[in-house]
């Protein structure tokens, strides 16, 4: 580290010496421009013609300077919009909404029973239990159409759609 400090110190002293004694502005001399003869092969410059007294020209009207009052010429300095034109309207094909569909049956099958030659099914929804026979209404929304040993056919009355529920085997 000592050699490094020594080198930096010597460089600092050299910079201070150059700052004080390195540049002597009093020794600077101005050099006058020298007229030189044209080189051979280069055409000589011609001197400008002596200027005559300046003349003041008359004012001319704008229409004389710019031309007539044509609409195209008036738009010469008019505003211009660089935004692109809007795209042409796209024809949207509107499809009719899908036909409404009955919701899935909200009942849970509990069991069935053969009573006087007709089947009865036991269904549950929430905390309610229903005994369903053919042509019976369930909450005014569903009607049991037919009951067989394997299926229960129910009509959803608001849409008059028929749905079936499997209620087990033929036993």
SS3 137: strand
Distance CA 141, CA 106 (A): 11
| Interior/surface letters 15-32, b for 16+ CB within 10 angstroms, e for the rest | eeeeeeeeeeeeeeeeee
Q: What is the pLDDT of residues 93-118, one digit of tens each?
A: 999 999 999 999 999 999 999 988 99
Higher pLDDT, 56 or 102: 102
pTM across the whole model: 0.46
| pLDDT beyond 90 at 61 | no
Average pLDDT over residues 5-23: 89
Beta 161-166 vs 142-147: how paired, if at all? unpaired
Label residue 67 by pLDDT band (50, 70, 90).
Answer: low
Average pLDDT over residues 28-33: 74
| pLDDT beyond 70 at 122 | yes
| pLDDT beyond 70 at 74 | no
Q: What is the pLDDT of residues 146-164, one digit of tens each?
A: 999 999 999 999 999 999 9
Distance CA 57, CA 3 (A): 81
């Amino acid at each position: 580290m000592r050699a490094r400090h020594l080198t930096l110190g010597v460089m600092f002293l050299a910079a201070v010496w150059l700052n004080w004694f390195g540049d002597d502005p009093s020794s600077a001399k101005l050099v006058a421009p020298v007229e030189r003869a044209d080189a051979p092969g280069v055409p000589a410059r011609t001197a400008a013609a002596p200027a005559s007294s300046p003349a003041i020209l008359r004012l001319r009207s704008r229409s004389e300077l710019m031309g007539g009052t044509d609409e195209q010429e008036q738009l010469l300095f008019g505003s211009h919009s660089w935004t692109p034109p809007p795209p042409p309207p796209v024809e949207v094909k509107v499809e009719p909404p899908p036909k409404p569909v009955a919701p899935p049956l909200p009942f849970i099958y509990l069991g069935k029973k053969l009573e006087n030659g007709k089947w009865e099914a036991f269904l549950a929804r929430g905390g309610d239990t229903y005994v369903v026979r053919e042509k019976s209404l369930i909450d005014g929304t569903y009607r049991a159409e037919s009951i067989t040993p394997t299926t229960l056919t129910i009509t959803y009355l608001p849409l008059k759609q028929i749905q079936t529920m499997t209620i087990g085997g033929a036993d």
